[in-house]
Amino acid sequence: MLTAKVERKENKFQGALDYLVEYRGVKEAAILDRDGLLIGYRGDGFAQAEAFAPLSLLMLHNIDAVLERLGENKAGSVVVKTADSWLTIQAAANLILVVRAKAEADDLLRVRIGRAAEMIKSHVQEKYPLQVD
Amino acid sequence: MKIDFDEINERIAKCQKILEADPNSQIFAALADAYRKKGELEKALQIGLKGIEDHPDYGSAYMVVAKTYLDLGNYGEAERYLNKAVEVGGRTRSADLLEAEILIRREQYGRARTLLEKLHNSDPKSETIKSLLKKTTIQPEEVPEPPKPVRSAAVSAEPSSKKPYDLSHTLGIIKILPRVLGVVAVTREGMVVEGQFDGLLPRDELGALASGAFNSVEQAIAKLDFGAGQEILVEADQSKLWMFNRGRIIIVISTRDDVNLGSLKLKLNEIFSHAEF
C-alpha cells in the first residue's frame, strides 16, 4: 500500500519529463537539484545527462551573477540556441528543469516547458511545502 | 498610452538605491527619465542637468534632458540638448525620432515628414513612427521647409532595404523597437564597441558581464558537443536579456519583461538579415 503511494508520487516528476519528451523535436529532459545532481531523466543518453547537469547549473550561476548586478532576481529561464540544438534551463521551485531539443522544434515547446515546470513545482509544494522558494 | 506608475515607481526606487550606493553612477539618466515619464518634469530636469555636470560625455543624459524640455514645451532647449547628444554620442535613430517630434511640435511638418519617411522606410512596422507620420499629414496649413544642412542617420541610410546596415544603424533600429530598454555590441573580450544601455549598470560593466556570461555558456555547450552558441535568452522577473553571437561581437539586448518575444524575434531576424558588420 505504502509502496504504491510512494511510486505514484515519484512518477509525477517522471510524468513531467514524459510530457516533455513526447513533444516533437525534444531529445531529452532532466530535473536537477540546486547542487547539479540529477533527480530525474528521460532521453537516450544518461551519461551525457550526468555531464550536462552540472554544466547547466554553472551556466545558470553565471547568468544569475549578471542579473544580480542589474538589480534583478535570479533567472526564471535561460534558453541557449545553437545551430542544431535548443537548450532550456528553467527554474521549477527549488529544482531546475533542463530540456534539450532539436533546433527545428517549434516555439510552442516553451509553453510545454512552462507547464512541466508547474507540474514539478506543484509536486514539490505538495510533498515538501516548506522548501518551495 | 497607458502609464504603469507602479513600474515607474519601482524603477525610481531601484535607480535611487544604485545611486546611493554609487553617487557617480550613470544611472542618474535612467532616474531622470523615470521621473519624466511619471510627469515630474522639474525633478527630472534637475537630476538630468546635475548628472550632465558630472558626466559631460554621456549622450543618453542629454537625450533625457532634451525629452524633458520637449515635455515642458521648451522646444529651443530641447533642440539644444538634442544637438549636444548628437555631438557626444553621434547620430542615432533615437535622435532622429526626437528631432522629428520637436519639429512636429514646432509645426515644421515638412521637415518632420522627410525625416520620418526615411525612418519609416527602414522600419515600416514601427507604430511610433507611423503615429508621428500621421501627425505630419493631417495638418492643413503646411509651410514647406527649407532643406536642413545636417545629414541625419535616417537620411544617410537610404535606400535602407538594399544598403546593408552597419553596426551603428543596426543598434539604432533595435533601440527604438517597442519595449527595448537598451542594446550594446560587445567584443568577446568584454569591450563595449557601441550602443546605448539606459539600464542599471555602466555600459562597460554590462559589456564585461554579458561577454563573460556568454563565453562561459559557450564553453559549457562546447563540452557537451552542442556546437557554437548562436543566441542566449534570459528571462528574469522584470526584464529579459537577449544575447546574439555575431562573430567577433555579441549583441546584448535588454527588454521589459512584457515584451512580445515572437514579434521582437521576427523584427530582429529581419534587421539581422540586412546587417553587415
ipTM over 0.90: no
CB contact under 8 A, B229 and A84: no
Q: Is the model's pLDDT at A68 over the cut of 80?
A: yes
Give me the DSSP letters along B159-170: STTTSPB-HHHH
**Which residues from chain A sit within 8 angstroms of residue B209, using beta carbons?**
65-66, 69
Per-residue pLDDT, B162: 55
Mean pLDDT, rounded, for B66-95? 85
Q: What are the Cα distances from residue B95, in Å, to B89, B143, B175? A: 10, 24, 11
CB contact under 8 A, A67 and B229: no
Mean pLDDT, rounded, for B186-202? 75
Whether B266 and B174 have beta carbons less than 8 Å apart is answered as: no
Which residue from B200, B223, B232 is facing A79, i.e. has the nearest CB? B232
**In chain B, whose CA is at the least distance from the CA of A85?**
B226
When scoring B211, B221, B244, B265 by the number of chain A Cβ atoms within 10 A, the one with the most, hence best to mutate, is: B221
Q: What are the Cα distances from residue A87, in Å, to A56, B144, B191? A: 9, 56, 27
Per-residue pLDDT, A83: 85
Per-residue pLDDT, B92: 81
pTM, full prediction: 0.58
CB contact under 8 A, A51 and B223: yes
Per-residue pLDDT, A16: 94
* Selected residue with higher pLDDT from B67 and B143: B67
Q: Is the model's pLDDT at B266 over the cut of 70?
A: yes
Mean pLDDT, rounded, for B151-177? 65
- Strand ranges for B51-197 from DSSP E: 180-187, 192-197
Per-residue pLDDT, B231: 92
Give residues with Cβ within 8 angstroms of B15, minimum separation 6.
B27, B28, B30, B31, B34, B200
pLDDT digits (tens, 9 = 90+) for B84-97: 888 887 778 888 88
Per-residue pLDDT, A108: 85
Residue linked to cell 557617480: B24
Mean pLDDT, rounded, for A105-117? 90
CB contact under 8 A, A66 and B212: yes
Per-residue pLDDT, A23: 93
- A6 CA: distance to closest CA in chain B (Å): 34
Q: What are the Cα distances from residue B128, in Å, to A80, A93, B74, B106, B254? A: 31, 39, 22, 18, 19
**Which residues from chain B sit within 8 angstroms of residue A82, using beta carbons?**
221, 226-230
What mean pLDDT, rounded, does chain B reach?
80
Per-residue pLDDT, B199: 58
Per-residue pLDDT, B149: 40
Per-residue pLDDT, A130: 65
Per-residue pLDDT, B144: 43
* Alpha carbon distance A77, B261 (integer Å): 14
CB contact under 8 A, A63 and B234: yes
Contacts 24+ apart (CB under 8 A), B126-131: B126/B176, B126/B177, B127/B178, B128/B97, B128/B176, B128/B178, B129/B97
Mean pLDDT, rounded, for A103-112? 88
Q: Is A4 on the interface with B (CB under 8 A)?
A: no
Which residue from B205, B228, B232 is facing A83, i.e. has the nearest CB? B228
Q: What are the Cα distances from residue B2, in Å, to A22, A37, A52, B175, B241? A: 42, 46, 44, 21, 24
Q: Is A77 on the interface with B (CB under 8 A)?
A: yes
pLDDT digits (tens, 9 = 90+) for B110-127: 888 888 888 888 778 787
pLDDT digits (tens, 9 = 90+) for A9-50: 457 899 999 999 999 999 999 999 988 888 999 987 766 777
**In chain B, whose CA is at the least distance from the CA of A90?**
B235
Per-residue pLDDT, B159: 40
What mean pLDDT, rounded, does chain A reach?
84
